[in-house]
Amino acid sequence: MPSSLPYDSDKSALERYVRILDGFINAKDNYIAEDYLTEAFELGRELARNAISPDEVVGLHDEALIQLSHRDFETPIGKVVHRLSKPLLEMSMAYGLAFREQIEQRYEAFVNERLLQSNKLEAIGTLAAGIAHDFNNIIGSIIGFAEMTGDLLADSRQGQENIRQISIACSRAHDLVVRMLSFARQIPATPILLDIADPIREALTMLSVTLDACIQINFSIMDEHLCVMADPGQIQQLIMNLCINAAESMMPRGGRIDIEVGLARGHIAGDFSKHCNNNIYLLVADTGSGMPPEIQKQIFDPFFTTKAPSGGSGLGLSVVYGIVKSLGGMIEVGSRSTGGDTGTEFRVFLPRAASG
Protein backbone atom coordinates (compact mmCIF):
# COMPACT_ATOMS: atom_id res chain seq x y z
CA MET A 1 0.00 0.00 0.00
CA PRO A 2 1.16 3.51 0.58
CA SER A 3 4.83 2.75 1.20
CA SER A 4 5.50 4.82 -1.91
CA LEU A 5 3.73 7.95 -0.62
CA PRO A 6 6.01 11.01 -0.83
CA TYR A 7 7.44 12.50 2.32
CA ASP A 8 10.97 13.73 1.68
CA SER A 9 14.07 12.70 -0.23
CA ASP A 10 15.00 9.97 2.29
CA LYS A 11 11.77 8.54 3.77
CA SER A 12 8.29 7.65 2.60
CA ALA A 13 5.20 8.76 4.52
CA LEU A 14 4.82 5.21 5.83
CA GLU A 15 8.36 5.10 7.20
CA ARG A 16 7.87 8.45 8.89
CA TYR A 17 4.56 7.42 10.43
CA VAL A 18 6.00 4.17 11.78
CA ARG A 19 8.80 6.15 13.41
CA ILE A 20 6.27 8.61 14.91
CA LEU A 21 4.13 5.82 16.40
CA ASP A 22 7.15 3.91 17.69
CA GLY A 23 8.61 7.04 19.28
CA PHE A 24 5.30 8.03 20.85
CA ILE A 25 4.74 4.58 22.40
CA ASN A 26 8.18 4.55 23.95
CA ALA A 27 8.41 8.26 24.88
CA LYS A 28 10.07 8.72 28.30
CA ASP A 29 8.13 11.88 29.22
CA ASN A 30 5.22 14.00 28.09
CA TYR A 31 7.41 16.61 26.36
CA ILE A 32 8.85 14.00 23.99
CA ALA A 33 5.37 12.55 23.43
CA GLU A 34 4.03 16.01 22.51
CA ASP A 35 6.81 16.42 19.95
CA TYR A 36 5.71 13.20 18.25
CA LEU A 37 2.06 14.32 18.30
CA THR A 38 3.09 17.60 16.66
CA GLU A 39 4.93 15.65 13.97
CA ALA A 40 1.85 13.46 13.42
CA PHE A 41 -0.20 16.63 12.98
CA GLU A 42 2.24 17.99 10.38
CA LEU A 43 2.25 14.65 8.56
CA GLY A 44 -1.55 14.82 8.29
CA ARG A 45 -1.33 18.27 6.67
CA GLU A 46 1.31 17.06 4.20
CA LEU A 47 -0.81 14.07 3.23
CA ALA A 48 -3.73 16.39 2.45
CA ARG A 49 -1.51 18.76 0.46
CA ASN A 50 -0.24 15.81 -1.59
CA ALA A 51 -3.86 14.84 -2.44
CA ILE A 52 -3.70 11.53 -0.55
CA SER A 53 -7.20 10.09 -0.26
CA PRO A 54 -8.85 9.28 3.13
CA ASP A 55 -8.77 5.56 2.26
CA GLU A 56 -5.03 5.77 1.70
CA VAL A 57 -4.59 7.50 5.07
CA VAL A 58 -6.44 4.64 6.79
CA GLY A 59 -4.32 2.15 4.85
CA LEU A 60 -1.19 4.01 5.94
CA HIS A 61 -2.21 3.64 9.57
CA ASP A 62 -3.03 -0.07 9.17
CA GLU A 63 0.28 -0.80 7.48
CA ALA A 64 2.15 1.07 10.20
CA LEU A 65 0.45 -1.03 12.89
CA ILE A 66 1.43 -4.23 11.07
CA GLN A 67 5.07 -3.15 10.96
CA LEU A 68 5.02 -2.16 14.63
CA SER A 69 3.54 -5.53 15.62
CA HIS A 70 6.50 -7.25 13.95
CA ARG A 71 8.99 -4.90 15.56
CA ASP A 72 7.76 -4.74 19.18
CA PHE A 73 5.56 -7.76 19.81
CA GLU A 74 6.32 -7.86 23.57
CA THR A 75 4.58 -4.52 24.27
CA PRO A 76 1.15 -5.15 25.90
CA ILE A 77 -1.60 -4.73 23.31
CA GLY A 78 -3.70 -2.58 25.63
CA LYS A 79 -0.90 -0.07 25.97
CA VAL A 80 -0.40 0.04 22.22
CA VAL A 81 -4.08 0.59 21.40
CA HIS A 82 -4.53 3.25 24.07
CA ARG A 83 -1.44 5.24 23.21
CA LEU A 84 -1.73 5.01 19.43
CA SER A 85 -5.19 6.58 19.43
CA LYS A 86 -3.62 9.99 20.13
CA PRO A 87 -1.21 10.23 17.16
CA LEU A 88 -3.88 8.78 14.87
CA LEU A 89 -6.31 11.43 16.09
CA GLU A 90 -3.75 14.21 15.57
CA MET A 91 -2.91 13.09 12.06
CA SER A 92 -6.57 12.63 11.12
CA MET A 93 -7.55 16.01 12.55
CA ALA A 94 -4.74 17.77 10.68
CA TYR A 95 -5.66 15.94 7.49
CA GLY A 96 -9.30 16.94 7.86
CA LEU A 97 -8.48 20.60 8.51
CA ALA A 98 -6.12 20.79 5.54
CA PHE A 99 -8.66 19.03 3.33
CA ARG A 100 -11.32 21.50 4.42
CA GLU A 101 -9.01 24.42 3.59
CA GLN A 102 -8.49 22.99 0.10
CA ILE A 103 -12.24 22.66 -0.46
CA GLU A 104 -12.82 26.22 0.76
CA GLN A 105 -10.12 27.55 -1.57
CA ARG A 106 -11.62 25.69 -4.54
CA TYR A 107 -15.09 26.95 -3.67
CA GLU A 108 -13.81 30.52 -3.32
CA ALA A 109 -12.13 30.28 -6.74
CA PHE A 110 -15.37 28.91 -8.21
CA VAL A 111 -17.44 31.72 -6.69
CA ASN A 112 -14.97 34.35 -7.93
CA GLU A 113 -15.10 32.88 -11.43
CA ARG A 114 -18.90 32.91 -11.44
CA LEU A 115 -18.90 36.49 -10.14
CA LEU A 116 -16.58 37.52 -12.96
CA GLN A 117 -18.89 35.86 -15.49
CA SER A 118 -21.87 37.61 -13.92
CA ASN A 119 -20.12 40.98 -14.21
CA LYS A 120 -19.34 40.31 -17.86
CA LEU A 121 -22.96 39.39 -18.58
CA GLU A 122 -24.14 42.52 -16.78
CA ALA A 123 -21.84 44.54 -19.03
CA ILE A 124 -23.34 42.83 -22.08
CA GLY A 125 -26.81 43.78 -20.87
CA THR A 126 -25.79 47.40 -20.41
CA LEU A 127 -24.26 47.42 -23.89
CA ALA A 128 -27.39 45.89 -25.43
CA ALA A 129 -29.68 48.42 -23.78
CA GLY A 130 -27.45 51.28 -24.88
CA ILE A 131 -27.40 50.46 -28.58
CA ALA A 132 -30.88 49.02 -29.04
CA HIS A 133 -32.66 52.40 -29.21
CA ASP A 134 -30.28 53.84 -31.84
CA PHE A 135 -30.42 50.58 -33.77
CA ASN A 136 -34.21 50.81 -33.90
CA ASN A 137 -33.98 54.32 -35.36
CA ILE A 138 -31.65 53.05 -38.09
CA ILE A 139 -34.07 50.24 -38.93
CA GLY A 140 -36.91 52.75 -39.18
CA SER A 141 -34.94 54.83 -41.67
CA ILE A 142 -34.15 51.78 -43.79
CA ILE A 143 -37.81 50.76 -43.89
CA GLY A 144 -38.90 54.28 -44.83
CA PHE A 145 -36.43 54.64 -47.70
CA ALA A 146 -37.23 51.10 -48.87
CA GLU A 147 -40.94 51.92 -49.10
CA MET A 148 -40.25 55.11 -51.05
CA THR A 149 -37.95 53.22 -53.39
CA GLY A 150 -40.65 50.61 -53.86
CA ASP A 151 -43.05 53.32 -55.07
CA LEU A 152 -40.47 54.35 -57.69
CA LEU A 153 -40.00 50.74 -58.83
CA ALA A 154 -43.67 49.93 -59.26
CA ASP A 155 -43.11 48.41 -62.70
CA SER A 156 -40.06 46.34 -61.76
CA ARG A 157 -40.83 42.84 -60.53
CA GLN A 158 -37.22 42.25 -59.44
CA GLY A 159 -37.08 45.64 -57.75
CA GLN A 160 -40.24 44.91 -55.80
CA GLU A 161 -38.83 41.54 -54.73
CA ASN A 162 -35.64 43.19 -53.52
CA ILE A 163 -37.67 45.73 -51.54
CA ARG A 164 -39.69 42.89 -50.03
CA GLN A 165 -36.50 41.15 -48.89
CA ILE A 166 -35.26 44.40 -47.36
CA SER A 167 -38.51 44.69 -45.41
CA ILE A 168 -38.26 41.10 -44.20
CA ALA A 169 -34.67 41.64 -43.08
CA CYS A 170 -35.66 44.83 -41.24
CA SER A 171 -38.47 43.01 -39.49
CA ARG A 172 -36.02 40.37 -38.29
CA ALA A 173 -33.60 43.07 -37.21
CA HIS A 174 -36.41 44.65 -35.19
CA ASP A 175 -37.04 41.28 -33.52
CA LEU A 176 -33.33 41.14 -32.70
CA VAL A 177 -33.54 44.55 -31.03
CA VAL A 178 -36.50 43.36 -28.97
CA ARG A 179 -34.49 40.31 -27.85
CA MET A 180 -31.52 42.52 -26.98
CA LEU A 181 -33.74 44.69 -24.80
CA SER A 182 -35.31 41.62 -23.22
CA PHE A 183 -31.84 40.34 -22.42
CA ALA A 184 -30.74 43.68 -20.99
CA ARG A 185 -33.87 43.93 -18.84
CA GLN A 186 -33.73 40.24 -17.86
CA ILE A 187 -37.08 39.57 -19.56
CA PRO A 188 -37.33 35.84 -20.32
CA ALA A 189 -38.08 34.68 -23.87
CA THR A 190 -41.53 33.27 -24.58
CA PRO A 191 -41.11 29.65 -25.70
CA ILE A 192 -43.64 28.03 -28.00
CA LEU A 193 -43.95 24.55 -29.42
CA LEU A 194 -42.24 24.53 -32.82
CA ASP A 195 -40.64 22.21 -35.33
CA ILE A 196 -36.93 22.96 -34.94
CA ALA A 197 -36.36 22.70 -38.70
CA ASP A 198 -38.56 25.74 -39.44
CA PRO A 199 -36.49 28.49 -37.74
CA ILE A 200 -33.32 26.79 -39.03
CA ARG A 201 -34.57 27.14 -42.63
CA GLU A 202 -35.44 30.80 -42.03
CA ALA A 203 -31.97 31.49 -40.62
CA LEU A 204 -30.32 29.76 -43.58
CA THR A 205 -32.38 31.89 -45.97
CA MET A 206 -30.89 35.01 -44.39
CA LEU A 207 -27.41 33.50 -44.40
CA SER A 208 -27.62 32.57 -48.07
CA VAL A 209 -27.63 36.24 -49.07
CA THR A 210 -25.05 37.42 -46.52
CA LEU A 211 -22.32 34.77 -46.60
CA ASP A 212 -19.62 34.81 -49.24
CA ALA A 213 -20.25 32.78 -52.39
CA CYS A 214 -17.27 30.54 -51.58
CA ILE A 215 -19.15 29.15 -48.55
CA GLN A 216 -21.33 26.10 -49.26
CA ILE A 217 -24.08 25.18 -46.77
CA ASN A 218 -25.62 21.70 -46.62
CA PHE A 219 -28.69 21.14 -44.43
CA SER A 220 -29.85 17.59 -43.65
CA ILE A 221 -32.96 16.60 -41.68
CA MET A 222 -32.46 13.07 -40.36
CA ASP A 223 -35.87 12.83 -38.63
CA GLU A 224 -39.04 14.77 -39.41
CA HIS A 225 -41.25 16.72 -36.99
CA LEU A 226 -38.79 17.19 -34.13
CA CYS A 227 -40.42 19.69 -31.77
CA VAL A 228 -38.86 21.84 -29.07
CA MET A 229 -40.19 24.45 -26.66
CA ALA A 230 -38.30 27.58 -27.68
CA ASP A 231 -38.58 31.10 -29.02
CA PRO A 232 -38.06 30.85 -32.82
CA GLY A 233 -35.66 33.80 -32.62
CA GLN A 234 -33.47 31.84 -30.19
CA ILE A 235 -33.01 28.99 -32.66
CA GLN A 236 -32.36 31.42 -35.53
CA GLN A 237 -29.80 33.33 -33.49
CA LEU A 238 -28.10 30.09 -32.43
CA ILE A 239 -27.77 28.89 -36.04
CA MET A 240 -26.68 32.24 -37.42
CA ASN A 241 -23.95 32.73 -34.80
CA LEU A 242 -22.56 29.24 -35.29
CA CYS A 243 -22.62 29.53 -39.08
CA ILE A 244 -21.06 33.01 -39.16
CA ASN A 245 -18.24 31.78 -36.92
CA ALA A 246 -17.80 28.74 -39.17
CA ALA A 247 -17.72 30.90 -42.31
CA GLU A 248 -15.12 33.24 -40.82
CA SER A 249 -12.87 30.29 -39.97
CA MET A 250 -12.86 29.27 -43.66
CA MET A 251 -12.03 32.64 -45.19
CA PRO A 252 -10.61 33.58 -47.62
CA ARG A 253 -10.34 30.17 -49.27
CA GLY A 254 -13.94 29.13 -48.53
CA GLY A 255 -15.29 25.74 -47.57
CA ARG A 256 -18.36 23.81 -46.48
CA ILE A 257 -20.75 24.05 -43.52
CA ASP A 258 -22.72 20.89 -42.76
CA ILE A 259 -25.85 21.35 -40.65
CA GLU A 260 -27.71 18.30 -39.45
CA VAL A 261 -30.69 17.85 -37.16
CA GLY A 262 -32.16 14.60 -35.91
CA LEU A 263 -33.11 12.44 -32.95
CA ALA A 264 -29.93 11.82 -30.98
CA ARG A 265 -30.89 8.31 -29.96
CA GLY A 266 -31.01 7.20 -33.56
CA HIS A 267 -27.85 8.79 -34.92
CA ILE A 268 -25.36 9.71 -32.17
CA ALA A 269 -23.05 7.33 -30.36
CA GLY A 270 -19.62 7.27 -28.76
CA ASP A 271 -18.70 10.14 -26.45
CA PHE A 272 -22.07 11.81 -27.06
CA SER A 273 -24.24 8.83 -26.11
CA LYS A 274 -24.89 10.23 -22.60
CA HIS A 275 -27.00 12.99 -24.20
CA CYS A 276 -29.09 10.69 -26.40
CA ASN A 277 -32.07 10.05 -24.12
CA ASN A 278 -34.99 11.52 -26.11
CA ASN A 279 -32.92 14.56 -27.10
CA ILE A 280 -32.74 16.35 -30.41
CA TYR A 281 -29.25 16.97 -31.72
CA LEU A 282 -28.19 19.85 -33.91
CA LEU A 283 -24.81 19.58 -35.61
CA VAL A 284 -22.90 22.45 -37.22
CA ALA A 285 -19.57 21.36 -38.72
CA ASP A 286 -17.14 23.24 -40.93
CA THR A 287 -13.96 22.61 -42.89
CA GLY A 288 -12.18 25.65 -41.48
CA SER A 289 -8.87 26.14 -39.74
CA GLY A 290 -9.99 24.62 -36.43
CA MET A 291 -8.98 25.58 -32.91
CA PRO A 292 -6.21 24.32 -30.60
CA PRO A 293 -7.31 22.90 -27.20
CA GLU A 294 -6.34 26.03 -25.24
CA ILE A 295 -8.70 28.11 -27.40
CA GLN A 296 -11.55 25.59 -27.15
CA LYS A 297 -11.57 25.99 -23.36
CA GLN A 298 -12.40 29.71 -23.63
CA ILE A 299 -14.67 30.04 -26.65
CA PHE A 300 -17.89 30.35 -24.60
CA ASP A 301 -16.46 33.07 -22.33
CA PRO A 302 -18.05 36.52 -22.89
CA PHE A 303 -15.78 38.93 -24.79
CA PHE A 304 -13.25 36.22 -25.67
CA THR A 305 -12.27 36.48 -29.34
CA THR A 306 -9.46 35.20 -31.52
CA LYS A 307 -9.99 38.01 -34.03
CA ALA A 308 -8.13 41.28 -34.14
CA PRO A 309 -9.31 43.84 -31.55
CA SER A 310 -11.48 45.55 -34.15
CA GLY A 311 -12.66 42.33 -35.77
CA GLY A 312 -14.95 40.72 -33.21
CA SER A 313 -16.90 41.38 -30.02
CA GLY A 314 -16.47 37.94 -28.48
CA LEU A 315 -20.21 37.71 -27.82
CA GLY A 316 -21.42 35.27 -30.49
CA LEU A 317 -20.60 31.95 -28.82
CA SER A 318 -21.36 33.20 -25.31
CA VAL A 319 -24.85 34.08 -26.56
CA VAL A 320 -25.13 30.61 -28.14
CA TYR A 321 -24.12 29.03 -24.83
CA GLY A 322 -26.69 31.12 -22.95
CA ILE A 323 -29.48 30.16 -25.37
CA VAL A 324 -28.68 26.45 -25.14
CA LYS A 325 -28.61 26.54 -21.33
CA SER A 326 -31.87 28.51 -21.16
CA LEU A 327 -33.53 25.78 -23.24
CA GLY A 328 -32.29 23.08 -20.88
CA GLY A 329 -29.76 21.73 -23.37
CA MET A 330 -26.07 20.93 -23.68
CA ILE A 331 -23.43 22.05 -26.18
CA GLU A 332 -20.12 20.36 -26.96
CA VAL A 333 -17.33 21.25 -29.35
CA GLY A 334 -14.63 19.27 -31.09
CA SER A 335 -11.96 20.78 -33.32
CA ARG A 336 -8.78 19.95 -35.22
CA SER A 337 -6.30 22.68 -36.08
CA THR A 338 -3.51 20.47 -37.45
CA GLY A 339 -3.24 17.69 -40.01
CA GLY A 340 -5.16 17.19 -43.21
CA ASP A 341 -8.67 17.15 -41.74
CA THR A 342 -9.06 20.46 -39.93
CA GLY A 343 -12.34 21.98 -38.87
CA THR A 344 -14.73 22.47 -35.98
CA GLU A 345 -17.91 20.67 -35.01
CA PHE A 346 -20.54 21.91 -32.56
CA ARG A 347 -23.17 19.51 -31.26
CA VAL A 348 -26.19 20.99 -29.50
CA PHE A 349 -28.54 18.68 -27.58
CA LEU A 350 -32.04 20.00 -26.79
CA PRO A 351 -34.93 18.31 -24.97
CA ARG A 352 -37.55 17.00 -27.36
CA ALA A 353 -41.08 18.26 -26.75
CA ALA A 354 -44.26 16.28 -27.42
CA SER A 355 -45.81 17.43 -30.68
CA GLY A 356 -49.36 17.36 -29.39
- Per-residue pLDDT of 89-123, as tens digits, reads 666 666 667 666 766 676 677 667 767 766 666 66
Say if residue 179 is in the same domain as residue 224: no
Res. 1: pLDDT tops 60 = no
Q: How confident is the model at residue 144 (pLDDT cuts 50, 70, 90)?
A: confident
Say if residue 207 is in the same domain as residue 339: yes
Q: Which one of 43-52, 75-84, 98-107, 281-290 scores highest in mean pLDDT?
A: 281-290
Contact 45, 99 (CB under 8 A): no
Q: Is the peptide bond before 2 cis (omega within 30 degrees of 0)?
A: no
Instruction: State residue 22's pLDDT score.
Output: 77
Among candidate residues 135, 165, 184, the one where a domain is terminated = 184
Say if residue 251 is in the same domain as residue 339: yes
Instruction: State residue 212's pLDDT score.
Output: 85
Instruction: State residue 3's pLDDT score.
Output: 38
Contact 238, 300 (CB under 8 A): no
Q: Which one of 114-118, 225-229, 262-266, 274-278 scores highest in mean pLDDT?
A: 225-229
- Residue with the larger pLDDT of the pair 326 and 22: 326
Element (DSSP H or E) covering residue 229: strand 227-230
Q: How confident is the model at residue 256 (pLDDT cuts 50, 70, 90)?
A: very high
Q: How confident is the model at residue 259 (pLDDT cuts 50, 70, 90)?
A: very high
Distance CA 304, CA 293 (A): 15
Distance CA 180, CA 134 (A): 12
Instruction: State residue 196's pLDDT score.
Output: 94
Distance CA 347, CA 105 (A): 33
Instruction: State residue 228's pLDDT score.
Output: 93
| Residues 6 or more apart whose Cβ sits within 8 Å of residue 54 | 95
Written in H, E and C, the secondary structure of 130-171 is HHHHHHHHHHHHHHHHHHHHHHHCCCCHHHHHHHHHHHHHHH
Contact 174, 141 (CB under 8 A): no
pLDDT in tens, 269-321: 545 555 566 789 999 999 988 888 888 877 877 666 665 444 444 567 877 88
**Lowest mean pLDDT, pick from 29-33, 51-55, 95-99, 168-172:** 95-99
| Residues 6 or more apart whose Cβ sits within 8 Å of residue 163 | 146, 147, 149, 150, 153
- Residue 12 is classified by DSSP as B
What value does the mean pLDDT of the chain take? 76
**Lowest mean pLDDT, pick from 21-30, 33-42, 82-91:** 82-91
pLDDT in tens, 159-195: 888 888 888 878 777 776 766 666 555 556 678 999 9
The answer to the question of residue 78 being in a domain is yes
- Residue with the larger pLDDT of the pair 136 and 279: 279
Spatial strand order of the sheet with 255-263 comes to 215-221, 255-263, 279-286, 343-351, 330-336
Domain of 32?
Answer: 2-108
| Residues 6 or more apart whose Cβ sits within 8 Å of residue 218 | 256, 257, 258, 259
pTM score, two decimals? 0.53
Distance CA 52, CA 5 (A): 8
The answer to the question of residue 137 being in a domain is yes
Distance CA 69, CA 82 (A): 15
| Residues 6 or more apart whose Cβ sits within 8 Å of residue 121 | 302, 322
Say if residue 176 is in the same domain as residue 198: no
Say if residue 216 is in the same domain as residue 144: no
**Lowest mean pLDDT, pick from 17-26, 99-108, 179-188, 222-231:** 179-188
Say if residue 197 is in the same domain as residue 91: no
Split into its structural domains, the chain has a count of 3
Distance CA 312, CA 323 (A): 20
Say if residue 272 is in the same domain as residue 333: yes
Give the type of residue at 346: F
